[in-house]
Structure 1
Amino acid sequence: MTATTHPTGQAADRVAAVDWDALIDELNAYGSALTGPLLTPGACRRVAALYDDTERFRTTVDMARHRFGSGQYRYFTHDLPDPVRELREAFYPRLLPIARDWARTLDRPAPWPDTLDAWLAMCHEAGQTKSAQILLRYGPGDWNALHRDVFGDMLFPLQVVVGLDVPGKDFTGGEFLMTEQRPRAQSRGSSTTLPQGHGLVFTTRDRPVASSRGWSTTPMRHGVSTVRSGRRRTLGLVFHDAS
């Protein structure tokens, strides 16, 4: 693990309580892995309610308009709500060793410094100055097409999505989907039901996979299956800014 200093506080304690050895094993095997609870039900409701406070967001994206699927999401401004900022700061030093290990395995550069602030400063110097933290909202019939996130050249290879509603009660359907484009083989898919307050760590675009010829880069895509009823809201934590 990296020797960077970990933040303190309630969010940091919840992130630290994750079984990181097990999570890393699952992430390496599948490209995604669930955490334990990160937000209480009350905190989930408060974060979800921010969606209607439009001044907190820099832009709103209608997925159908851009042919991304159906639904809507909003990008926060840099003035992040405390739970969003604290979770992001708590995750970065935990995810950093994984990012560096993947880069070393794939013989890629690992430009990420020990602190999130230093990394974001590098993003800004490269022209990526827009906040990429996302609050997403899906209703009945909404879905998100399988995709790979591209925000600019300065990229952190892992993201976290946090469920804000209770599956099976507040909504049905809406599973988190991932597909793995395997070398010289058909793609493999997986689906994950995201419990309220729990996070899912997943790869932004690709991951290393061992093969008979050594390590190779396997493209990964993620999306959301059709919401059959109710309302599904999630918080997206991204560890680089956008251009």
Structure 2
Amino acid sequence: MKIHAANVADTKPATKADAFDWVSVEQSLDARGNAILPSLLDADQCRSLAAMYGSEHGYRSRIVMARHGFGRGEYKYFAYPLPPLLDRLRHALYPHLAPIANRWNRLLRIDVQYPPDLDTFLGRCRAAGQTRPTPLILQYGEGDYNCLHQDLYGEHVFPLQVAILLSEPGDDFAGGEFVMTETASNGQHADVVALRRGDAVVFTVNHRPAAAKRGGVRKVAMRHGVSVVRRGKRHTVGLIFHDSR
């Protein structure tokens, strides 16, 4: 049977997502609140997405971080319909993440369970008035950074998120590391996540469960950000699975 090129492109993100060792991803998320998906995108896909930042079309808003106390740099929220590649990635990754999110909520005694497919979950968001798309593209230049934060946009929050680095460390920029902090009753620590161009990091949006020293489960608060870019320009795509008001 002949397969048309367009159909191959349509199925590639799902095929790539299915190929990851999701047991190891889940173990890493349980232990550190983040996990790397290596080479989720190839170099051409990264360059094409980064080049989109200069366009005036396809976005619903542009945010200059310094105006809001978010750090330095800027980002744009995509409008619906999303770029096809990002839409396919969002749909391909969600079914692997929903079971992890559901298990975490059960451990934290949160009375919310997520449906197995993204469209049903987005329908839940729309019914609550969360209709604006949240996937975004970020641009940092020399001296820019992103303050530690959580991406919470409304009543319905999916507890995992994906960021994809579109630029090559060392070649396109220096500094600008992805950073996560963990805060719990026993203290705080930071984790610097090393990424190459095309790598994605899955990470905790808000809270995650962790083993308590005396047994049981404790709630750990997580935040993420980007350290200061020392040189060059850095682009990243963020895939958030809940929409906003």
* Fold conserved between structures, TM > 0.5: yes
**What is the Cα deviation at residue 62 of structure 1?**
0.4
Is the Cα contact below 8 Å between 1:167 and 1:193 reproduced in 2?
Answer: no
Aligned to 2:244: 242
Q: In 1, distance between residues paired with 2:120 and 2:20?
A: 25
Aligned to 2:196: 195
Q: In 2, distance between residues paired with 1:105 and 1:26?
A: 17
Q: In 2, distance between residues paired with 1:17 and 1:168?
A: 28
Q: Deviation per CA, 1:146-201, whole angstroms, max 9, x where unpaired?
A: 11121001010000000101011110001000110021x32111001221111000
Q: In 2, distance between residues paired with 1:117 and 1:20?
A: 21
Q: What is the count of residue pairs matched by the alignment?
A: 235
Aligned to 1:139: 141
Is the Cα contact below 8 Å between 1:14 and 1:37 reproduced in 2?
Answer: no
Q: In 2, distance between residues paired with 1:96 and 1:25?
A: 15
Is the Cα contact below 8 Å between 2:184 and 2:219 reproduced in 1?
Answer: no
> Is the aligned partner of 1:222 residue 2:224?
yes
Q: In 1, distance between residues paired with 2:200 and 2:235?
A: 13
Q: In 2, distance between residues paired with 1:55 and 1:116?
A: 25
> Is the aligned partner of 1:128 residue 2:112?
no
**What is the Cα deviation at residue 213 of structure 1?**
4.8
Q: In 1, distance between residues paired with 2:194 and 2:142?
A: 16
Pick the aligned partner of 1:54 from 51, 56, 79.
Answer: 56
Q: In 1, distance between residues paired with 2:156 and 2:225?
A: 22
Q: In 2, distance between residues paired with 1:54 and 1:128?
A: 24
Is the Cα contact below 8 Å between 2:177 and 2:227 reproduced in 1?
Answer: yes
> What SS is found at the alignment partner of 1:43?
helix
Q: In 2, distance between residues paired with 1:92 and 1:76?
A: 18
Q: In 2, distance between residues paired with 1:138 and 1:216?
A: 35
**What is the Cα deviation at residue 113 of structure 1?**
1.4
Is the Cα contact below 8 Å between 2:181 and 2:223 reproduced in 1?
Answer: yes
Pick the aligned partner of 1:94 from 87, 93, 96.
Answer: 96
Q: Deviation per CA, 1:132-151, whole angstroms, max 9, x where unpaired?
A: 00100000000000111210
Q: Give 4+ residue runs of structure 1 displaced > 2 Å after superposition.
A: none
Aligned to 1:204: 205
Is the Cα contact below 8 Å between 1:59 and 1:75 reproduced in 2?
Answer: yes
Task: Note the 1:1-243 alignment, pairs <5 A.
Answer: 9-183=11-185, 185-211=186-212, 212-243=214-245
> What SS is found at the alignment partner of 1:12?
helix
Q: Percent identity?
A: 43
The one-letter code sitting in structure 2 at the alignment partner of 1:187 is Q
Is the Cα contact below 8 Å between 1:44 and 1:165 reproduced in 2?
Answer: yes
The one-letter code sitting in structure 2 at the alignment partner of 1:202 is F
The one-letter code sitting in structure 2 at the alignment partner of 1:130 is R
Aligned to 1:3: none
Is the Cα contact below 8 Å between 2:125 and 2:243 reproduced in 1?
Answer: yes
Q: In 2, distance between residues paired with 1:114 and 1:191?
A: 31
Q: Please give the TM-score of this superposition, normalised by the length of structure 1.
A: 0.94
Aligned to 1:4: none
Is the Cα contact below 8 Å between 1:95 and 1:158 reproduced in 2?
Answer: yes
Q: In 1, distance between residues paired with 2:121 and 2:187?
A: 36
**Which structure 1 segments of 5+ residues have no match?**
1-7
The one-letter code sitting in structure 1 at the alignment partner of 2:193 is T
**What is the Cα deviation at residue 110 of structure 1?**
2.5
> What SS is found at the alignment partner of 1:23?
helix
Is the Cα contact below 8 Å between 1:140 and 1:229 reproduced in 2?
Answer: yes
> What SS is found at the alignment partner of 2:67?
coil
Is the Cα contact below 8 Å between 1:34 and 1:199 reproduced in 2?
Answer: yes
